[in-house]
Amino acid sequence: MSPEKRADLKGFSTRSVHAGESRDKYANAITTPVVQSSVFVFDDTAEMKQYVAGKKNRLEYGRYGNPTQRVAEEKLAALEEAQDALLFATGMAAVTTALLAFLSGGDHLVVTDDCYRKTRVFSETTLARLGVETTFVRAGDCEALADAMRKNTKVVLAESPTNPHLYIVDLARAAEITARNGAKLLVDSTFATPYNQQPLKLGADLVIHSGTKYLGGHNDLLAGVVLGAEQVVGPVRDLQGQLGPTIDPHCAYLLLRGLKTLALRVDKHNKNGLAIARFLENHPKIERVYYPGLDTHPDHEVAKKQMRGFGGVVSFLVKDGLEKTLLFIDSLTLPYLGPSLGGVESLVYHPATLTFNDLSKAEREKLGITDNLVRYAAGIEDEEDIIADLEQALRTI
């Protein structure tokens, strides 16, 4: 579908349902088929020649894309209002391939701290081994970002909201600082989704999402996506063709299905997140709540300016230390205990135990991962039930 046609689909949910989908589908089906094929064959050598010369837009081999994936990419591009989109097998494949596409030995990378754990590990180990130096700056501190820029800074990778503290980066300011330095701004917008935030409109060069979270939305798939102008996505696509972390056709189908209800789900996640944050903020057994929708959050004004809603993830500190925190988590009956976020089922987890267990307590605390930190990723259950469950669990401690 051409970008002009995409613009005809004005509303976000209309685009969620219809963008990228041809009306003329295999066997008159209403849904996009899962095209389970690794090869896409040619009629004759003349067609092959046309294709190689770029005169025919079609597929060739599954590592370079499949038809179900293409439809999901069109839909995502329409939702993020991006010229181009490229899907990956996982969010980390999207993050690492994008970084490798734009960085070489001797280059400098700036990453906002409080970032996804494996993104930090990739910068500190693999990129360091290849001769790329990384500076971490406090998310939300644009002065620190400006100070960190060097002549050889090629990429700034910002997450907003961040994980797990839900800090907010002023994306328009970050884009301006990055562009002034001739670098590229990549934004991991997973926690926001294209429904809550559109970094490209604020000047970002590339948006990245883990599709595993809100985009898929049902805790049943792994996916990643990068979105931006064709000339920015192009080098990432070339490198994906070499590295091979392509999305599987069936997974692309599940993602397509999830995307159709994105706005409905995210509205509910936003509502639940805010309700949980408000409830916990006033609870005597809670020390502190991190949620950008609260007016006590340090980045609330920036969040309001650049976001439609604030998402379903709420992090908070339980009073009186580790034992009480673990007892509280184990007393919850509604959420599942585990990592991840963005699915219909609520999930709760203890970052210090699961994700940061390889660090010493002192190292964890430097990252703000204290023993009493809990991350609650609200699903789409009813707000009253989530709050009642939190209330009874807090009574046990």
Q: What residues act catalytically?
A: 63, 116, 188, 213
Give residue for tokens 């090629």: 154
Cα end-to-end distance, the chain, whole Å: 56
> Min. distance of Cβ 33 from ligand PLP in angstroms?
25
Q: Which two tokens stand for residue 3?
A: 């970008």
> Min. distance of Cβ 188 from ligand PLP in angstroms?
5
> Min. distance of Cβ 163 from ligand PLP in angstroms?
5
The nearer residue to ligand PLP, 135 or 190, going by C-beta atoms, is 190
The nearer residue to ligand PLP, 95 or 326, going by C-beta atoms, is 95
The nearer residue to ligand PLP, 181 or 197, going by C-beta atoms, is 197
The Cβ of residue 54 has, within 10 Å, a number of other Cβ atoms equal to 7
The nearer residue to ligand PLP, 125 or 392, going by C-beta atoms, is 125
Give the contacts of 165 (CB within 8 A, at least 6 positions apart). Answer: 114, 139, 290, 315, 368
Give the footprint of ligand PLP on this chain (CB under 6 A): 90-92, 95, 116, 159, 163, 188, 190-191, 210, 212-213, 222, 224
Q: Tell me the residue number closest to ligand PLP, measured at CB.
A: 91
Region for 27 from its dihedrals, namely left if φ exceeds 0, alpha if ψ lies in -120 to 50, beta otherwise = left
Contact 190, 52 (CB under 8 A): no
The nearer residue to ligand PLP, 90 or 196, going by C-beta atoms, is 90
How far is the C-alpha of 107 from the C-alpha of 154, rounded, in Å?
6
The nearer residue to ligand PLP, 92 or 185, going by C-beta atoms, is 92
